[in-house]
């Protein structure tokens, strides 16, 4: 597993640990493999969490076979329980609780309630919402609301799957409304989700049975950008503002490093134009401080400075700045470099 895949999985595990999430994907995507991959990672990395699997689509034994087919080494353990459908002659297992059918909601709800009371902070897997939603929608809604309440009372979370374009659109909308987070997957292997105020966009690929994730820059869907201008000389700030006045930008202005950090953390601008030489804190220190913030570390920075030596530029690049403009600057260059940096971030003016 590469570093990017591990980082994305760690982020998802952390962000979804107390939220109910739905993988929403086309039928011909690798949605099932992705869910098995995610669950196997939880069992290996989150050693305090128990997984409870509600078997609507496949039996307990078939689920273990699927883990093996997908290349995930999962063995029976005290941290993995199943709620399965019983049948004459079916072998029973100690890690499994049984119901009479996929519509035996009373028994399923009872098992879920008891397991979560004894194993708080657990994750409930509902392996196929399409199967559940084929029943009367009011019955399904009552069942989901009940188990959501029981899971929440025990600080747990729910993860499920729903295939696109199988159910009527109004049923899809209702099912999605049960979940705090919808993880939407496209046919081209792209994944998008919004958790709180944060967007997560990444691609997945499956090669030789293994899954890899890589970050993907989502296009910024805003008509105007918010730009923070930082310089200790008020005339320079006004000149920059006048140079860009015809562009679809709104401006924040800071006159020193401390003020720049405070504004950046509070306003989270789309871009920072930053002077290097300032009396209280230079531009390098501003960048170093912003990189320490999870919220502000990805804000692109263009440094504007009279310091034009290669060493100064390299120092800025080593800190993670996105571009460098020398003073005195030409307004055409400033415009062009802003657009070049923001295109890399996914923003295009005509949107």
Region of 316 (left: φ > 0; alpha: ψ -120 to 50; beta: rest) is: alpha
Strand (E) or helix (H) holding 184? strand 181-185
List where CATH 3.40.50.2300 sits in the chain: 225-344
pLDDT tens for 86-106 read: 999 899 999 999 999 999 999
Binned at pLDDT 50, 70 and 90, residue 351 comes out as very low
Model-level pTM?
A: 0.64
DSSP state letters, 212-276:
EEEE--PPP--SSEEEEEE-S-HHHHHHHHHHTTTSSEEEEEESSHHHHHHHHHHH--SEEEEES
CA distance 128 to 22: 10
Looking at the chain, the domain(s) classified CATH 3.40.50.300 span: 3-215
**147-205 pLDDT per residue, tens:** 999 999 999 999 999 998 888 888 888 899 999 999 998 877 888 888 876 778 888 88
Return the bridge partners of 249, or none. Answer: 225
Q: Which of 97-111, 172-186, 213-227, 285-299 has the lowest mean pLDDT?
A: 213-227
Contact criterion met (CB below 8 Å) for 52 and 123: yes
Q: What is the CATH number of domain 3-215?
A: 3.40.50.300
Assign domain 225-344 to its CATH architecture: 3-Layer(aba) Sandwich (3.40)
């Amino acid at each position: 597993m590469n570093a990017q895949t591990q980082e994305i999985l760690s982020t998802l595990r952390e962000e979804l640990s107390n939220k109910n999430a739905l993988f929403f994907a086309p039928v011909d995507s690798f949605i099932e493999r992705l869910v098995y991959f995610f669950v196997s990672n939880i069992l290996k990395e989150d050693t305090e969490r128990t997984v409870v699997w509600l078997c609507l689509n496949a039996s307990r034994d078939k689920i273990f076979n699927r883990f093996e087919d997908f290349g995930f080494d999962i063995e029976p353990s005290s941290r993995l329980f199943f709620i399965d459908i019983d049948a004459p002659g079916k072998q029973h297992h100690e890690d499994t609780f049984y119901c009479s059918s996929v519509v035996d909601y009373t028994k399923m709800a009872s098992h879920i309630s008891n397991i979560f009371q004894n194993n708080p902070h657990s994750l409930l897997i509902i392996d196929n919402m399409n199967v559940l939603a084929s029943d009367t929608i009011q019955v399904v809604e009552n069942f989901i609301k009940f188990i959501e309440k029981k899971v929440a009372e025990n600080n747990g979370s729910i993860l499920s799957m729903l295939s696109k374009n199988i159910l009527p659109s109004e049923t899809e909308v209702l099912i999605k409304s049960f979940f705090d987070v919808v993880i939407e997957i496209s046919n081209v292997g792209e994944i998008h989700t919004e958790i709180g105020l944060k967007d997560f966009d990444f691609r997945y690929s499956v090669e030789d049975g293994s899954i890899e994730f890589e970050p993907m820059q989502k296009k910024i869907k805003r008509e105007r950008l918010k730009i923070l201008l930082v310089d200790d000389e008020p005339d320079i700030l006004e000149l920059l503002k006048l140079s860009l006045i015809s562009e679809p930008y709104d401006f924040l202005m800071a006159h020193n490093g401390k003020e720049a950090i405070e504004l950046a953390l509070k306003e989270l601008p789309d871009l920072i134009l930053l002077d290097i030489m300032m009396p209280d804190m230079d531009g390098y220190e501003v960048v170093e401080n912003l990189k320490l913030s999870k919220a502000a570390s990805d804000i692109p920075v263009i440094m504007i400075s009279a310091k034009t030596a290669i060493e100064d530029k390299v120092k800025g690049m080593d800190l993670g700045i996105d571009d460098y403009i020398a003073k005195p600057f030409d307004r055409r260059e400033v415009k062009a470099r802003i657009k070049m940096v923001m295109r890399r971030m996914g923003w295009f003016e005509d949107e």
